[in-house]
Each structure stands twice: as C-alpha cells, then as structure tokens.
Amino acid sequence: MYSQYFKHLVKCQLFVALALVLLLGACGTTVHMTGTWKSNDAPAGGYHKILIASLSSDMGARQTIETNLAATLAQKGIVTGRSLDMFPPNFDPKNEVSRKDMADKIRAAGYAAILTASIVKKESETRYVPGTYMYAPYPAYGWYGSFWGYYGYMYGALYSPGYYTTDKTYFLESNLYDLNRDGKLVWSGQSETVNPGSMASFGKAFSQKVADALQNEGLLSR
C-alpha cells in the first residue's frame, strides 16, 4: 500500500515542480501607461515619418528600444528611422554647431517628428515572501488513523521556504516633438513597468503601449 502511495507522491511532486517551471517561464513584462498629455494645436492629420531617439547611455538598451519602436510603428504604416543610424558617436547635443548640423540632416531626410524615450525614475523595494505548504493528494483510505499513514502523508508535504525579493519599478517618459514647428512638444506619455522579465520582452511591451497610445490620440498618419 505504502509503495503505491510513495510512487503516487513522487509523481505529484514532479507535477508540481513542472507546473512551477512553466508558470515562471510564462512570465513576461507588463507596461502600464500612467498618464498622457496632448497639445491642443497638435496637427489633426498626425505624422507619417518619425525619427526615434532613445535617450540612454546604455547602448544595448538604446538599440533595443529604438529597434522595437521602429518595428511596432512600421506595423501601423509609419515610416521610421533610428537615431542610432543618424547621430554620429561624437554627436554633442549641447554644441550649437553640431546641433544645427544634425537638425539640417534630419529635416533633409524628411522626418516630420521625433519620438524620444527615456527613464525618468527608478525605484527599488525589498519585501518578504512567506513560505507556503503544498500537500500532495493521498488515497481515500484512513491515513489519519495510523502512525505510518499519518507519517507518510505529512512526509509528502511540500514546503516552499520564505525569501526576500526586491521589486524594481521603472518610470519612462515618451515625448513627441513636431519638427515643422521648431521641435515643439505635441505629446507626452509616462509609463510604468515592474520587474521586467528581460530587456527584449520589455522593449516589445513598451513599444506596443506607446504606439497604441499615439494611434489612439490620432497622431499617426499612414
């Protein structure tokens, strides 16, 4: 009787372990748009050709964000470009001559607007996750009435110990500037994401959220 029980217990433990692995593997990144603003004199027709600029010193993050935003907007019929492909490595936005040369280059390429993305705040919070018991099912006969039955049942209890974890929250700001109006701000949106699964999953989720917000505001023109 007990050999059958322990075989059944092992199967249950393996099933629980597999379920946890699948659950963790399915976790991605969720991005919430916490607020948006739109200028009253934003063009009614929207923009068809947009240059994307991620303001980050992390080259990998910059490339991921710009590439994902370009691809997502392209799916909505927008012609896009990346600042990575236009701005030289030594470009200094604080230098007036360098800035003017770059502005002329952007206008010559036919871009009507620039979409920026940057991290404006990062928060970390450590919290304790208490341990939990997970019991494997036991056959219907009276396990509680005998020591070995009770011992066998309790031996099958799976315990997950408590642990500390740190939640990381990122706040990002996206701005859309009209190049035909001396770079005037016409739209701004702030988004929030907690514990992004990876830079790749974050880039896709963030880009989709920003692109949808711009489309809903009527700022994209096919």
CATH of domain 2-127+163-216: 3.40.50
| Domain range annotation of the chain | 2-127+163-216
Q: Are 55 and 114 in contact (CB under 8 A)?
A: no
Q: Residue written as tokens 């929030």?
A: 192
- Residue 21 burial (CB count, 10 A): 10
* 147/155 Cα distance (integer angstroms): 12
Burial of 61: CB neighbours in 10 Å, binned 0-12, 13-18, 19+ = middle
Sign of CA dihedral 178, 182, 183, 188: negative
Look at residues 207, 189, 186, 175 and name the one whose alpha carbon lies nearest to residue 74. 207
Question: 167: alpha, beta or left, given left = phi > 0 and alpha = psi -120 to 50?
Answer: beta
* 154/161 Cα distance (integer angstroms): 16
Half-sphere exposure of 155 (CA within 13 A, CB side): 14
pLDDT score, position 161: 72
pLDDT in 10s for each residue of the chain, 222 residues: 434 433 443 343 433 343 433 333 445 688 899 999 999 999 989 999 999 999 888 889 899 999 999 999 999 999 999 999 998 878 888 888 888 888 889 989 999 999 999 887 777 878 777 776 555 555 544 555 556 665 665 555 556 677 777 778 888 899 999 998 988 999 999 999 888 888 888 999 999 999 999 999 999 998
pLDDT score, position 23: 38
Q: Tokens standing for 80?
A: 């896009």
Question: CA geometry: angle at 203 spanning 200 and 201, to 5°?
Answer: 40
* 192/172 Cα distance (integer angstroms): 6
